[in-house]
């Protein structure tokens, strides 16, 4: 039995982007100002940070204070091994699978979640939710590089002998934030996990299922200044950057449909890179405003009923088959496949 809500409901999927996450917060602030409340949220890397804090109960205004005042330089926390002259970082890279420990990041997100009384995914179970696909308010994407799997947490935790309800939310976010070579990979038994973005940085289709959705999913995606242009490969640095960028983007480009762009808030990055940990206050403010402006432009043309008429009123089995296949290929994603159509009043907060 659905419960009528006074707010418009929207699910959200947040792309990863490192220090650019403040741009997501800017976009969120506009969405909330326009009367939307959050249903289910998901994210990769920096998107996982934002999604986890929303799931914990932070508002966009609170997030601006939390993320906007964060000292990103502390993320580059060195270890004892790093202090060895010349070869320390290389040793850490080969032994720990990353230069920086990532401990500060995990401690910080643990404290932020604890401030809202959130520690494990069991505390993010939606009361009364009977559908296992939507049991948790939060889903986090990470990459199992030992077995070559994209993993959706907490559902996918079962494969690794972890009870999803007992899994610490901060640990899942840390796994998703393990930027390859930069942060140490997270090890669970004999399995290494890194940034979910290397397999899917923007799985905007994660909450999709057959039939007419009860409410929309908004995607929050960063757009680089050179978006749509060929990568430069004139030197080794450009080549490495192009390879990494291809890893992060190619999978999603294959599977994002026109309808996905229609429901996506495209946030210009203003040239800021994911690992620009020396981000100035001026750059933070500019990114925040960039997110706000992007969301304002998006809402000028967004029409949920028009979206439904154009893309969801007509059955599109090929699209649903593709989405379900993508989910089945993800560890934990198989929980999210569906064939039962849904047709509910968008004002009713219930399962999809």
Are the CB atoms for 29 and 59 separated by under 8 Å? no
Residues contacting 247, CB < 8 A, separation 6+: 197, 198
Other CB atoms closer than 10 Å to residue 321's CB: what's the count? 12
Residues contacting 294, CB < 8 A, separation 6+: 23, 26, 27, 265, 266, 267, 268
Among 29, 45, 178, 209, the active-site one is 45
Phi, psi of 224 (to 5 degrees): -75, 155
Tokens 């999603």 belong to 252
Residues contacting 11, CB < 8 A, separation 6+: 38, 39, 40, 41, 42, 207, 215, 216, 217, 218
Instruction: Label residues 229-268 b or e (16+ Cβ within 10 Å = b).
Output: eeeeeeeeeeeeeeebeebbbebbeebbeebbebbbbbbb
In sequence order, the β-bridge partners of residue 252 are none
Catalytic, 176? Answer no
Among 11, 82, 144, 195, the active-site one is 195
Catalytic, 45? Answer yes
Q: How far apart are CA 265 and CA 261, in angstroms?
A: 8
Q: How far apart are CA 63 and CA 49, in angstroms?
A: 10
Catalytic center residues:
45, 195
């Amino acid at each position: 039995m659905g419960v009528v809500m006074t707010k418009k409901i929207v699910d959200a999927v947040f792309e990863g982007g490192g220090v650019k996450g403040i741009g997501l917060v800017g976009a969120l602030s506009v969405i909330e100002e326009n009367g939307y409340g959050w249903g289910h949220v998901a994210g990769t890397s920096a998107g996982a940070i934002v999604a986890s804090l929303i799931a914990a109960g932070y508002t966009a205004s609170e997030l601006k204070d939390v993320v906007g005042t964060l000292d990103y330089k502390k993320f580059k926390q060195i270890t004892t091994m790093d202090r060895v002259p010349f070869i320390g970082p290389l040793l850490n890279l080969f032994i720990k699978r990353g230069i920086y420990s990532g401990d500060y990041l995990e401690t910080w997100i643990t404290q932020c979640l604890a401030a809202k009384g959130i520690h494990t995914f069991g505390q993010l179970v939606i009361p009364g939710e009977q559908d296992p696909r939507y049991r948790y308010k939060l889903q986090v994407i990470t990459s199992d590089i030992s077995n070559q799997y994209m993993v959706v947490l907490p559902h996918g935790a079962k494969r690794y002998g972890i009870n999803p309800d007992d899994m610490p939310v901060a640990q899942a976010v840390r796994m998703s934030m393990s930027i390859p070579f930069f942060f140490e990979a997270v090890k669970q038994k004999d399995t290494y996990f890194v940034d979910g973005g290397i397999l899917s940085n923007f799985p905007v289709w994660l909450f999709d299922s057959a039939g007419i959705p009860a409410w929309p999913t908004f995607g929050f995606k960063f757009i680089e200044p050179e978006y749509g242009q060929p990568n430069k490969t004139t030197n080794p640095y450009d080549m490495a950057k192009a390879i990494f960028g291809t890893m992060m983007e190619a999978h999603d480009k294959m599977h994002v449909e026109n309808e996905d762009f229609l429901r996506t808030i495209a946030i210009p990055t203003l040239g800021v890179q994911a690992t620009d940990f020396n981000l100035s206050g001026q750059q933070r403010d500019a990114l925040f405003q960039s997110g706000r402006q992007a969301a304002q432009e998006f809402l000028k043309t967004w029409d949920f009923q028009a979206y439904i008429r154009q893309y969801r009123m007509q059955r599109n089995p090929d699209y649903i088959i593709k989405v379900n296949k993508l989910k089945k290929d993800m560890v934990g994603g198989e929980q999210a496949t569906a064939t039962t159509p849904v047709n509910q009043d968008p004002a009713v907060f219930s399962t999809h």
